[in-house]
Amino acid sequence: MDLPRIRLLASSLRASAPLVLCAAASLAAAQDASQFPAAAVRFLGTEMPAMEAAVAARDRDYFEDAMGRMLDFSDRWGFKSRDNPALARYSMCTDAVSDFLVVGMCRIMTTSSACEPGMAAKFDSNLQQCRELAARR
């Protein structure tokens, strides 16, 4: 995967996810929002080891497939809080799911303009808060 393609992928992750997620809000109405933190933790629990292996191997192709899985997961729940108000109280979980690929990609491409200082720490904090919420349910 060449550098321009990677930059496009990282930008696409941030730019396209909210648009796709918004379109799926009606599908999420059937989901029990109280189950979202546990679902997000399960999703990330499956993806994070694969992402760690991809980062270690510097396998950028993983991120394209993982983006599709992340968007599918997001479609099932309908992330946009203004379109699915029941998920607004779980923003730490929606943020963790939305940001994990960018954080992983930034570990490979440390100089990318999509890599903001503090992004990894924010992701870790959101993931921890989401895990705590899931454990309470």
User: What is the per-residue pLDDT across 22-71, written as a single tens digit (0 to 9) for each?
Assistant: 444 444 455 788 999 999 999 999 999 999 999 999 998 999 999 999 99
Choose among 120, 118, 102: nearest CA to 7.
102
- What is the value of pTM for the model shown? 0.75
CB 114 within 8 A of CB 8: no
Mean per-residue pLDDT of the chain: 82
Torsion of CA 121, 75, 90, 53, to 10 degrees: -30
C-alpha–C-alpha distance, residues 66 and 86, integer Å? 26
- 80 pLDDT exceeds 80? no
- Please give, one letter per residue, the 3-state secondary structure of the chain: CCHHHHHHHHHHHHHHHHHHHHHCHHHHCCCCHHHHHHHHHHHHHHHHHHHHHHHHHCCCHHHHHHHHHHHHHHHHHCCCCCCCHHHHHHHHHHHHHHHHHHHHHHHHCCCCCCCCCCHHHHHHHHHHHHHHHHHHC
**99, 119 contact by CB (below 8 A):** yes
CA distances (Å), origin 66, targets 41, 58, 70, 97, 119: 15, 15, 6, 11, 19
User: Over the stretch 95-109, which tens digit does the pLDDT of each residue have?
Assistant: 999 999 999 999 988
Residue ranges per structural domain of the chain: 3-136
